[in-house]
Amino acid sequence: MTDHTAEPAPVTADASAEDAGRIVLLTASHRVAPGLLSWPAWQALRAADRVLCADPGHPQLPYLREAGVRVEHEAPDAHALVDACAGGRTIVVIPSGEGDQRLTDGLARLAGSGRVAMPDLELLPGSYDLPGARLLDLVQVMDRVRRECPWTSRQTHEGLVKYAIEEAYELVEAIEDGDRDALREELGDVLLQVVFHARIAEEGVSGEEEEDARAFSVDDVAGDLVDKLIRRHPHVFGDATAESPEDVSAHWQATKAVEKQRESVTDGIPLGQPGLALAAKLAGRARAGGIPVELPRGEGVGYELLALAARAEAAGTDPETALRAAARVYRDAIRAAEGVGE
């Protein structure tokens, strides 16, 4: 919001540039725990002549007090702040919300007027977002939507299944189209399904009178995934070596076998996936496991497709992807015959 109040009288003191002082606007990420400030930020706070914060409930204040930094609960306008710096004083301003925009707008106007001896202005980041920090925002937003949205609050794992499948297929389409903008959006939609299901899982199983031990959160999901990635990459996090993608796959499969303690190489293969993908997965597991089994023979196109899927898998081709690529060519041919443009 821009400050439309009348411009105050210009500062007319014979202050030199060195005497104009310094204003430090200290910013901090709300995604980083309060008190975890950078060393330059702590240096600026300790060396400042005054530290100002208009919000008495600011989350940084208890940590500043503990460190012996005196903070004044004051929200000066731009002109008063510039005037207070006269004589070479340094003032650190801790952001406090909407008032900061009025202050920065006012400082910009004063600096542009050419009629004021301006102090040095510095924007000092006190903390930075780490990679993945916006995921914290996603979790918070999902939590609020789950509580307050009439539709979202009524959803269940079972009711969301169809959306997970749809979003996965839309992601595949974006990848096959080479559409980077669509890829970014569809990855977000797939991520939403993960966060949505994890949020529902926090509430446990409906009907449980006591706290449900089977309840879990998105942090549990992420923690399990981190542990799995570390276990299955001993060549990265351990002493094992891997010189090729085949070595990595061998490590992965060996670790899975120990974890899952499966009776059959077919255990864990979802039977609900598309038929060609299912056939290729079964053939691949049998081949990798050295299971001496021949393909079943029978009449009908199903057995023919099974043989084609197994042959494609052995040749290193994903039959599902290959068929989709051919089907897209077929679709384009149909549209061309219809005279329909892209």
Query: Ranked by mean pLDDT, which of 27-41, 184-198, 222-236 comes out on top?
Result: 184-198
pLDDT of 31 higher than 50: yes
Burial 275-309 (b: 16+ CB within 10 A, else e): ebbbbbbbbbbbeeeeeeeeeeeeeeeeeeebebb
The mean per-residue pLDDT over the stretch 279-283 comes to 94
Between 281 and 101, the more confident residue is: 281
pLDDT at 227: 94
CA dist 328 and 342 (Å) reads 13
DSSP assignment, residue 72?
Answer: B
pLDDT of 3 higher than 60: no
pLDDT at 281: 93
Helix (DSSP H) and strand (DSSP E) numbers for the chain: 13, 4
CA dist 97 and 37 (Å) reads 19
pLDDT at 30: 85
The mean per-residue pLDDT over the stretch 139-154 comes to 96
pLDDT of 341 higher than 80: no
Question: Are 319 and 280 spatial neighbours (Cβ–Cβ below 8 Å)?
Answer: yes
- 15 pLDDT tier (thresholds 50, 70, 90): very low
Nearest residue to 104 via CA among 72, 81, 74, 71:
81
The mean per-residue pLDDT over the stretch 296-309 comes to 93
User: What is the average pLDDT score of the chain?
Assistant: 88
Percent of the chain whose predicted confidence (pLDDT) is above 90: 64
Class of domain 131-216: mainly alpha
The mean per-residue pLDDT over the stretch 308-314 comes to 94
Q: For residue range 245-265, what is the model confidence (pLDDT) as tens digits?
A: 888 888 787 787 777 777 888
pLDDT at 9: 39
- 312 pLDDT tier (thresholds 50, 70, 90): very high
pLDDT of 326 higher than 50: yes
pLDDT of 113 higher than 60: yes
pLDDT at 6: 39
Class of domain 19-125: alpha beta
- Report helix, strand and coil shares of the chain as percent, to nearest 5: 55, 5, 40
The mean per-residue pLDDT over the stretch 281-285 comes to 92
CA dist 272 and 275 (Å) reads 8
pLDDT at 19: 86
pLDDT of 11 higher than 80: no
Nearest residue to 52 via CA among 13, 17, 78:
78
Q: For residue range 165-214, what is the model confidence (pLDDT) as tens digits?
A: 999 999 999 999 999 999 999 999 999 999 999 999 999 875 554 556 68
The mean per-residue pLDDT over the stretch 32-42 comes to 92
* Residue boundaries of the structural domains of the chain: 19-125, 131-216, 271-342
Q: How many alpha carbons fall within 13 Å on the CB side of residue 45?
A: 26
CA distances from 258 to 87, 159, 251 (A): 72, 33, 11
pLDDT at 77: 87
CB neighbours of residue 26 within 10 Å? 24
The mean per-residue pLDDT over the stretch 70-83 comes to 90
CA dist 49 and 69 (Å) reads 11
pLDDT at 8: 38
Question: Are 55 and 97 spatial neighbours (Cβ–Cβ below 8 Å)?
Answer: yes
